Each structure stands twice: as structure tokens, then as C-alpha cells.
């Protein structure tokens, strides 16, 4: 409404001429570019305010022009005008005189598209909002500007990819749920996703990790309660497909960020978590976990720490004083009060219940990995497993002191480190078996077994570290596994153990 | 942000999210919602016994090795903007043709250039004259400036 | 117990990358491989 008088009409006239020119099949990019050099375009686009008004009005009008094509009962929309507008945007971005201007135009257009999307989503509501025109805009821009083009240098391409990533972070399902399906399709676009994950020095990996975390956070409450109605089931299967592509084509990405993803996958999503933990670097040959008498501690890979790009100490820093006390204890085994108080510090403040639990799950995950990483470093520097008693104190204390719920979360945090052959997998495998062996009560041993077993009985894939730990547990006489009554507590459990033991043997 | 810091939704929010999700199923993007719009001439209606879609082999780079240069030039100049033009250009480059951006013409060395500097080379070339004769012609004493080399 | 992940329409044993024929997270079958190519502006005749 505050547009200057006549400006809207002028812009609509320019847009109409442009669309007609664009739709002539003989007008290729070169001719289209020539058309945009007309003074009328140059004048309106060189001013900040008038250019924003131009893009906004063009976007609104071309989005409204996406109406169902006759005879397709709403299945197909006509995108002619919208494609014309995005082509105009692409040409302006591509042929702007320098990289900053290129990126500036792209960011401006994306911002306007995002604002229009959010306003449309909130005003039209579930019944009338249509995600497809916005999908088309982002898809056209991403496809045309992510494609290899020697006139776009690598640095500019990174700026484009950053702009697209930020736009998708801002329009994630947590913010605009009615755009969720289009959003996941854009994130996993066959040109965009590899562009982000193929970048040299993995510069764009943190952005893609953020996008996957946004998706998993959105799904978390629905998956935790196993409320898989139609839309959630579709999103869940779609997420599995995307994760499978990452597992197959970009396993190192899943390896490096496993901690971030496990932090937001509910404990009940065992297969999805296994999928992520099953990733291993492409240049690694995994020894068959079922090899009889496989000597894991002789594998060279177990001396190398895994690459972890997640900031796994974040949750420790979020609790005032916790990290300092923990580091102090690991260094000096002081103060003695640290251990007995530890259990209560893992509870959410004020008895809150979040995501169905009283415990601060990210803090438990962070504590386990942090203590384990410090212990591995110490073991490697001193040459023996026994040389990290402070760490084992903490793990033993938690195994004994935590209640069933807390211990389940704690044991899960350990099991989340059982992955491909590396020093963490080896350490946490030993720790889990050590806790089994040293347990004072059979309840702890049963729970350790349960945490492993529930990860093994789900459909594939299974992480290598999980398999070798479970096989060791049931085969090595030292653990006297089969003597425990819980292996025979019910006929179906006995059958289950037999079948798993047979498949493992 | 629908989710508070822990990703927890209130019951009301969860309902609102679910209704938005269910509503958005109606407009789930289909393959044609991302089909690239390439301004193509309308396909000429041919009898059904003619192939109605281009054979996949025309996307196979090996096929272009078998075409003679005349065919490659035809594809390059008469199928602009297509993947086939891209493949034809790649094959011409493999056969030591070089594209001159100013003359929009393909050149090939007829013999070793008499002079080569950082900015250009000079000598006798063969070029494909697509405008007047649709044939290859020889050009002596030609200077190919590298700034015009695509 | 999760899903048989081999039934999601992805050829998990493929020696090629899966993303190049990934049509969409909702598609049960791979999409046609779209060739990725770039045509320099100078290839267009007026």
C-alpha cells in the first residue's frame, strides 16, 4: 500500500513484457540478457528501494499466476510467468559486474521470497497454502546457480551455497511446517546436496549438518511418541532415503557429525540411529565382525581417533561450572564429592520433563564422549588401558548410581560410540564390557544386554562396533553370559538369544 | 520457531503443526514441479510409427565420436542450448578444434603456428565457415588471440 | 524393528552415486539421470 502511485502498474507492465519475451522459444539466454540491458530495467534495479519493490511485486504476481492447468485436476500448475521471473533473477545475479553484487542480488531476492512464503503460509493456513510455487522458485534458483559455470568462481559459488543454506535454515519445518515436504526436497536436491558435500575442505558441511539437525529436531516429538500418521510417515521415509544416500555417497559426512545427529534422534528410533552409526570412511576396509577369533585390539585402525566435527562439549559448557569440575576431576580425581553429586547434575533443573525424560540427554551424551575422548588420549599417551582410572570411576559411578531410566540413557550414549574401527569404538566397547563384568547387580548386566540387543534385532544396517561388542559379550567365557537368568527369562527371549547367537556365530 | 529450545512442542502447537502438515500433503511437489523449463520448439506432430521421444543414445558421448565433423558442426549450430550442443563441442575440442568467441567460429591448426606468445598464436588454420559456404576453409597469416579462446 | 531399507527404491549396491538419480524423498523409483552441463554464452548465435 505504501508503494508510490503508479509504480505497481509500471512494474506489472515491465513484467508482462518480460514474460512474453521470455516465452518466445527462439529467445536464448543471450537474447534475454540483451533485453535486460534496457534503461527501464537498469534504472529501477540500481536503486535499493525500487529494486526491492520490483522483486516483491514480481514475486507476488508470478506466484499468484501459478494456477492449475486445465484438465489436470489441480495436479499441475502453470509456471510460465514464475519461470520467467526466476530466469530474470538468475541472469541479473550471474551477469552482475562483481561477486559481491551477484551475491547481494541473490540474498535480496531470497529474503523477499522467504518473507512472502512465511506471510502466505501464516495467512492462508492449512486449507489454502500451496507450497509448490515456492518450491519452484527455490528449485529454479538453486538449479541454475549451483550448476557448474566457469564464469562463477569458487568463492562466489560458496557465497551462493551459503545464501541458499541460510534460506533453507530459515524456512525449516520448525518454522514453516506447511513447507516441510518442499523443504526436504530442496535440501536433498540432486544438484544442491552434492554441491554442499563436495566442497573442498568441507566448508559447507556444517551448513548441511544444520539442515539435517533442523529436520530431525522437527521430527523428534512425533517419532519419540511413535505417532506415525500419514504426513509424518512420509517425512520419516523421506528422511531415511536422504540418510541412505548420505550413507552410500557421503559416509564421511555422517561419520564426522554422528554426535550431532544422535543428540536429536529419539532413543526409540533405533534403526535410523544405526544407519548413521554404520557409516565408515570409504577408504576403510571393515574386517568381517563374524570372523572367528577376530583380534580387534590388533587392528591398526583402533589406534586412530575418529574425526568428530560436532562440537560435542557444547552441552557441558551450557551447565555453569560443570566442565571445569569434570576436567578437574579427570586431572586430579578431586574433589571426592564430584562423583556422588554427578547423578543429580544430569537431571533437568527443577524436575522439568523435556522430550519425555527428566534427564538432560544432550548433557549425558556430551559427558560420555568427552570423558571417553580424554581417556583415549591418556591411554594412548601412557600405552595402557588401565591408565585412565578417573574415567572408569565416572562410568562405574553412573552405572551404579543412576536409576533405570538414567542408566538406559547413559548406556545409550556409550553405545552411540560403537561405530567403525577407531580408538573411540575400541575404548567404549571395552568400557561397556568392563561395566558388564564389574557390575554388582544383574539388573545392570541385563540393561547393558538390552541396549545392545535392541540395536541388533532391528533391520539392517548394524554398526561394526556394535556387532563386535555383542559377539565378544556372548562368546568370551570371561563374561559368563549364558549363565545369567535373564537370557532365559521367557521362552521368546530364549529363542531370540538363540537366533541372535546363531546369526552371530 | 515452533519448537522451544529443546524441540518440545506444546500440545496446541503440535496440533497446529499436524494440521499444516496434513494440509500440505495436497500440494506435495511432484516431478513436474521441478522439471526444468527449457524453451523448446513445440514438438512437430509425427505419425505414431516415428519415435515419439529422442532415443537415449543421443546423450551418450561415445556416439559423438562416430559423427563426422560436418554432423558435429550441424549439431553445434542448429541445436543450441541443448545437451547435444555441449557434447558436440566437447568432441570438436577432442579433435583439436578451438572455438573463437569473437568470430563464433571453430578453428583448427593446419600446421604448427609460425609464432606463439603468451597472448596469441599466428599461422595457417582451417576454419568451419557456417555462414556462407557451410564448408571448411583455409586461412593463412591468421592470429588467434587467446582472449577469444573459449 | 524398523524397515527393510532395500525397499525404499534406492539401489544400495550401486557402484555409482545414488544422488544423481535421486528424484525426491517421496519417490519409490530412481529418476532419469539428468546430464549436468553448462553452455557458455558465446555458444549462442544471435
Q: What is the mean pLDDT of residues A173-196?
A: 96
Q: Which of C2, C14, C25 sits opposite A242 (nearest CB)?
A: C25
pLDDT for residue A299:
92
Percent of chain A with pLDDT over 90: 77
Q: Which of B9, B16, B32 sits opposite A76 (nearest CB)?
A: B32
pLDDT for residue B6:
46
Helix then strand then coil, in percent of chain C rounded to 5, is 20, 0, 80
Cβ of C38 within 8 Å of Cβ of A150? The answer is yes
DSSP single-letter state for residue A293: T
**Which residue is closest to A178 within chain B, CA to CA?**
B20
Q: What is the mean pLDDT of residues A118-147?
A: 94
How far apart CA A455 and CA A450 sit, in angstroms, is 8
- Phi, psi values for residue A336, rounded to 5°: -65, -25
Cβ of B1 within 8 Å of Cβ of A174? The answer is yes
pLDDT for residue B1:
34
pLDDT for residue A188:
97
pLDDT for residue B4:
40
pLDDT for residue A386:
53
How far apart CA B118 and CA B25 sit, in angstroms, is 60
- Within 8 A of B28 by CB-CB distance, chain C residues are 26
Alpha carbon of B21: minimum distance to chain A alpha carbons (Å): 5
CB-count burial class (<10 Å; 0-12, 13-18, 19+) for A434 = middle
Q: What is the mean pLDDT of residues A303-316?
A: 94
Cβ of A244 within 8 Å of Cβ of C5? The answer is yes
pLDDT at A219 over 70: yes
Per-residue DSSP letters for A168-217? Answer: HHHTSTTT-GGGHHHHHHHHT-TTHHHHHHS-GGGTTHHHHHHHHHHHHH
| Residue A452 contacts residue A470 (beta carbons within 8 Å) | yes
Q: Which of A29, A185, A234 sits opposite C41 (nearest CB)?
A: A29
Judged by a CB distance cut-off of 8 A, whether residue C12 touches chain B is no
Alpha carbon of C21: minimum distance to chain B alpha carbons (Å): 12
Q: Which of C34, C42, C44 sits opposite B81 (nearest CB)?
A: C44
Helix then strand then coil, in percent of chain B rounded to 5, is 35, 20, 40
Cβ of B31 within 8 Å of Cβ of C27? The answer is yes
pLDDT for residue A214:
98
Q: What is the mean pLDDT of residues A281-308?
A: 91
User: Among residues A375, A373, A370, which one has the least CA distance to residue A390?
Assistant: A375
Alpha carbon of B87: minimum distance to chain A alpha carbons (Å): 15
pLDDT for residue A467:
95
| Residue A436 contacts residue A452 (beta carbons within 8 Å) | no
Higher-scoring residue by pLDDT: A76, C15: C15
3-state secondary structure of B138: strand
Alpha carbon of B99: minimum distance to chain A alpha carbons (Å): 16
Residues of chain B with pLDDT under 70: 1-8, 37-42
DSSP single-letter state for residue A284: P
Q: Which of C2, C19, C38 sits opposite A147 (nearest CB)?
A: C38
pLDDT at A388 over 50: yes
Cβ of B36 within 8 Å of Cβ of A130? The answer is no
CB-count burial class (<10 Å; 0-12, 13-18, 19+) for A184 = buried
Alpha carbon of A456: minimum distance to chain C alpha carbons (Å): 10
Percent of chain A with pLDDT over 70: 98
- Confidence label for A382 from pLDDT (cuts 50, 70 and 90): confident
Alpha carbon of C16: minimum distance to chain B alpha carbons (Å): 17
Cβ of B28 within 8 Å of Cβ of C26? The answer is yes
Cβ of A126 within 8 Å of Cβ of B20? The answer is yes
Alpha carbon of C22: minimum distance to chain B alpha carbons (Å): 11
- Within 8 A of C24 by CB-CB distance, chain B residues are 29, 31, 34
Cβ of C42 within 8 Å of Cβ of B76? The answer is no
Which residue of A178, A356, A358 is the best one to mutate when testing the B interface, meaning the one whose CB has the most B CBs within 10 A? A178
Q: Diameter of chain A by CA atoms?
A: 88
**Which residue is closest to C31 within chain A, CA to CA?**
A190
3-state secondary structure of A288: coil
Cβ of A190 within 8 Å of Cβ of C19? The answer is yes
**Which residue is closest to A249 within chain C, CA to CA?**
C17
Weakest mean pLDDT among A59-63, A286-290, B89-93: A286-290
ipTM of the predicted structure?
0.85
pLDDT for residue C35:
80
Helix then strand then coil, in percent of chain A rounded to 5, is 70, 0, 30
| Residue A419 contacts residue A254 (beta carbons within 8 Å) | no
Q: Is the bond into A268 cis (omega within 30 degrees of 0)?
A: no
**Which residue is closest to A217 within chain B, CA to CA?**
B7
Amino acid at each position: 500500500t505504501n508503494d508510490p502511485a503508479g509504480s505497481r502498474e509500471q512494474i506489472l507492465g515491465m513484467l508482462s513484457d518480460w514474460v512474453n519475451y521470455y516465452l518466445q522459444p527462439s529467445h536464448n539466454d543471450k537474447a534475454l540478457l540483451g533485453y535486460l540491458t534496457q534503461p527501464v530495467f537498469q534504472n529501477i534495479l540500481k536503486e535499493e528501494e525500487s529494486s526491492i519493490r520490483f522483486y516483491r511485486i514480481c514475486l507476488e504476481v508470478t506466484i499468484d499466476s501459478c494456477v492449475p492447468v486445465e484438465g489436470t485436476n489441480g495436479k499441475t500448475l502453470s509456471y510460465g510467468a514464475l519461470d520467467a521471473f526466476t530466469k530474470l533473477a538468475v541472469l541479473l545475479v550471474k551477469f552482475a559486474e562483481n561477486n559481491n553484487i551477484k551475491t547481494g542480488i541473490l540474498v535480496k531476492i531470497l529474503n523477499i521470497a522467504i518473507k512472502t512464503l512465511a506471510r502466505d503460509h501464516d495467512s492462508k493456513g492449512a486449507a489454502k497454502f500451496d507450497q509448490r510455487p515456492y518450491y519452484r522458485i527455490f528449485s529454479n534458483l538453486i538449479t541454475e546457480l549451483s550448476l557448474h559455470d566457469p564464469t562463477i568462481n569458487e568463492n562466489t559459488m560458496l557465497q551462493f551455497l551459503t545464501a541458499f543454506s541460510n534460506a533453507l535454515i530459515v524456512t525449516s519445518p520448525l518454522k514453516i511446517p506447511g513447507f516441510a515436504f518442499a523443504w526436504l526436497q530442496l535440501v536433498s536436491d540432486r544438484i544442491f546436496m552434492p554441491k554442499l558435500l563436495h566442497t573442498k575442505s568441507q566448508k559447507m558441511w556444517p551448513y548441511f549438518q544444520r539442515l539435517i539437525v533442523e529436520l530431525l529436531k522437527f521430527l523428534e516429538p512425533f517419532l519419540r511418541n511413535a505417532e506415525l500418521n500419514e504426513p509424518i510417515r512420509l517425512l520419516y521415509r523421506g528422511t531415511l532415503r536422504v540418510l541412505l544416500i548420505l550413507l552410500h555417497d557421503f559416509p564421511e559426512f555422517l561419520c564426522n557429525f554422528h554426535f550431532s545427529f544422535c543428540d536429536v534422534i529419539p532413543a526409540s528410533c533405533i534403526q535410523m540411529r544405526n544407519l548413521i552409526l554404520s557409516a565408515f570412511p570409504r577408504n576403510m576396509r571393515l574386517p568381517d565382525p563374524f570372523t572367528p577369533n577376530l583380534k580387534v585390539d590388533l587392528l591398526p585402525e583402533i589406534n586412530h581417533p575418529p574425526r568428530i566435527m560436532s562440537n560435542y562439549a557444547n552441552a557441558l559448557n551450557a551447565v555453569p561450572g560443570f566442565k571445569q569440575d569434570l576436567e578437574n576431576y579427570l586431572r586430579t580425581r578431586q574433589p571426592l564429592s564430584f562423583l556422588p553429586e554427578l547423578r543429580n547434575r544430569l537431571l533437568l533443573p527443577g524436575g522439568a520433563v523435556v522430550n519425555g525424560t527428566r534427564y538432560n540427554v544432550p548433557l549425558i551424551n556430551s559427558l560420555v564422549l568427552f570423558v571417553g575422548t580424554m581417556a583415549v588420549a591418556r591411554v594412548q599417551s601412557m600405552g595402557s588401558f588401565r591408565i585412565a582410572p578417573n574415567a572408569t570411576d565416572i562410568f562405574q559411578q553412573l552405572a551404579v548410581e543412576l536409576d533405570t531410566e538414567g542408566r538406559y540413557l547413559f548406556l545409550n550414549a556409550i553405545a552411540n560410540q560403537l561405530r567403525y574401527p577407531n580408538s573411540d569404538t575400541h575404548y567404549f566397547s571395552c568400557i561397556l564390557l568392563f561395566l558388564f563384568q564389574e557390575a554388582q547387580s544383574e539388573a545392570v548386566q541385563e540393561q547393558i544386554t538390552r541396549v545392545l540387543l535392541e540395536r541388533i534385532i532391528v533391520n539392517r544396517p548394524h554398526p561394526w562396533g556394535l556387532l563386535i561388542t555383542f559377539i565378544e559379550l556372548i562368546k568370551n567365557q570371561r563374561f559368563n553370559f549364558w549363565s545369567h537368568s535373564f537370557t532365559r527369562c521367557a521362552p521368546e527371549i530364549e529363542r531370540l538369544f538363540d537366533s541372535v547367537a546363531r546369526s552371530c556365530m | 520457531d515452533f519448537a522451544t529450545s529443546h524441540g518440545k512442542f506444546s500440545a496446541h502447537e503440535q496440533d497446529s503443526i499436524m494440521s499444516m502438515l496434513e494440509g500440505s500433503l495436497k500440494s506435495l511437489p511432484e516431478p513436474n514441479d521441478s522439471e526444468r523449463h527449457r524453451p523448446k520448439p513445440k514438438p512437430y506432430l509425427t505419425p505414431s510409427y516415428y519415435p515419439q521421444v529422442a532415443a537415449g543414445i543421443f546423450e551418450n558421448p561415445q556416439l559423438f565420436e562416430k559423427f563426422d565433423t560436418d554432423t558435429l558442426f550441424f549439431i553445434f549450430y542448429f541445436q543450441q542450448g541443448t545437451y547435444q550442443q555441449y557434447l558436440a563441442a566437447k568432441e570438436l575440442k577432442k579433435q583439436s578444434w578451438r572455438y573463437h568467441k569473437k568470430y563464433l567460429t571453430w578453428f583448427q591448426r593446419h600446421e604448427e603456428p609460425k609464432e606463439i606468445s603468451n597472448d596469441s598464436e599466428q599461422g595457417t588454420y582451417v576454419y568451419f565457415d557456417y555462414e556462407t559456404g557451410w564448408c571448411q576453409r583455409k586461412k593463412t597469416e591468421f592470429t588467434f588471440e587467446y582472449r577469444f579462446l573459449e | 524393528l524398523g524397515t527393510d531399507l532395500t525397499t525404499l527404491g534406492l539401489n544400495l549396491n550401486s557402484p555409482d552415486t545414488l544422488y544423481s538419480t535421486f528424484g525426491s524423498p517421496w519417490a519409490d523409483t530412481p529418476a532419469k539421470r539428468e546430464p549436468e552441463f553448462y553452455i557458455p554464452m558465446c555458444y549462442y548465435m544471435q
